[in-house]
């Protein structure tokens, strides 16, 4: 399978380029990153020069005849890129975050029309998928739910796509179980604005930390009378995303239209 990587010079993009190069059934055909155009990819990812030069435009993927594209760029660039890839019927595996619901709708319509497949996941680590399953199991039985996340200090969007997805999963699980509303927030006055975090799906509070040295950490805290339960996932290295991305790459050819998350692929 010939693969193109968008955002090849990013933190995750570099890891994925190295991994794809090491896979016997995958060929890294194109590495796209406008900031690094013209530089040998080996210099970018800490490998010997191999002759694959980073390019700055998406059209290189189309000219190279790739079988699939992995996108770990930024939402502003990914939105039009994914619509263009859909028009060319090129499958995509997307870990870029920061999309709005309207973005997802537009991308989904484009891929439905093309007949190709697109997998967008807020988090490709297997542990994060298992965290979602835990949330789905526990959410109907509790009175309170809050989410605390911590990410590296360079992350541009807040809260993370993973936190919003966790809140959505909790809301859906409660609705399916007809669990009723969560206990109302007793706070009547915030001494410091924003102290109670942001309201996510299902009116679940999300608290986003940006901390030097962190990578990605998500904790869901459940409360009920006289007790709490906390479930947490920590990404300690960006290599944790690799198995999920490779799984999605190898399966995206079977997908038609848009799939959110990799849970159903496991």
List the structure tokens of 218: 């998500």
d(CA 33, CA 58): 9
Q: Is the dihedral of CA 103, 106, 107, 108 positive or negative?
A: positive
Does residue 171 have a known ligand-binding role?
no
Number of helices (H), then strands (E), in the chain: 8, 11
Does residue 235 have a known ligand-binding role?
no
151 is catalytic: yes
The catalytically annotated residue of 155, 207, 218, 233 is 155
Contact status, residue 57 vs residue 34, Cβ threshold 8 Å: yes
Does residue 152 have a known ligand-binding role?
yes
Does residue 161 have a known ligand-binding role?
yes
Return the bridge partners of 40, or none. 53
Q: 108-128: buried (b, 16+ CB within 10 Å) or exposed (e) per residue?
A: bebbeebebbbbbbbbbbbbb
d(CA 157, CA 68): 26
Does residue 162 have a known ligand-binding role?
yes
Does residue 139 have a known ligand-binding role?
no
Does residue 7 have a known ligand-binding role?
yes
Contacts of 176 (CB under 8 A, 6+ apart): 140
Does residue 40 have a known ligand-binding role?
yes
Q: Which residue has the tokens 């509070």?
A: 205
Does residue 10 have a known ligand-binding role?
yes
Does residue 50 have a known ligand-binding role?
no
Does residue 188 have a known ligand-binding role?
no
Does residue 148 have a known ligand-binding role?
no
Concatenating the DSSP letter of every residue in 9-37 gives TSHHHHHHHHHHHT-TT-EEEEEE-GGGT
Does residue 124 have a known ligand-binding role?
yes
Contacts of 125 (CB under 8 A, 6+ apart): 233, 235, 240, 241, 244
Listing from the earlier edge strand, what are the strands of the sheet with 117-120? 27-32, 2-6, 68-71, 92-94, 117-120, 257-260
Does residue 68 have a known ligand-binding role?
no
Does residue 180 have a known ligand-binding role?
no
The catalytically annotated residue of 151, 217, 218, 233 is 151
Binding site as annotated, residues for NAD(+): 7-12, 40, 95-97, 121-124
Binding site as annotated, residues for (S)-2,3,4,5-tetrahydrodipicolinate: 152, 161-162
Binding site as annotated, residues for NADP(+): 47
Binding site as annotated, residues: 7-12, 40, 47, 95-97, 121-124, 152, 161-162
Q: Please give the positions annotated as active site.
A: 151, 155
């Amino acid at each position: 399978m010939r693969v193109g990587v968008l955002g090849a010079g990013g933190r995750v993009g570099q890891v994925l380029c190295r991994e794809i190069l090491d896979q016997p059934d995958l060929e890294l055909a194109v590495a796209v990153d406008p900031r690094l155009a013209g530089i040998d990819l080996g210099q970018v990812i800490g490998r010997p020069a191999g002759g694959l030069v980073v390019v700055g435009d998406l059209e290189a993927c189309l000219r190279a005849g790739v079988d699939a594209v992995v996108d770990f760029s930024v939402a502003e660039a990914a939105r039009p890129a994914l619509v263009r890839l859909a028009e060319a019927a090129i499958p995509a595996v997307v870990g870029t975050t920061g999309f709005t619901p309207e973005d997802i709708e537009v991308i989904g319509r484009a891929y439905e029309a093309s007949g190709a497949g697109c997998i967008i996941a807020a988090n490709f680590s297997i542990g994060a998928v298992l965290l979602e399953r835990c949330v789905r199991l526990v959410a109907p039985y509790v009175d309170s739910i809050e989410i605390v996340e911590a990410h590296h200090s360079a992350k541009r969007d807040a809260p993370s796509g993973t936190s919003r997805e966790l809140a959505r999963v909790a809301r859906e699980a409660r609705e399916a179980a007809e669990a009723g509303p969560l206990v109302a927030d007793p706070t009547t006055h915030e001494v410091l604005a924003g102290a109670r975090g942001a309201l996510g799906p299902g009116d679940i509070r999300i608290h986003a930390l940006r901390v030097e040295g962190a990578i990605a950490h998500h904790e869901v805290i459940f409360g009920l009378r006289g007790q709490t339960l906390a479930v947490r996932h920590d990404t300690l290295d960006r290599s944790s995303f690799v198995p999920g991305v490779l799984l999605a790459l190898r399966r995206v050819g079977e997908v038609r239209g848009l799939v959110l998350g990799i849970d159903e692929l496991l």
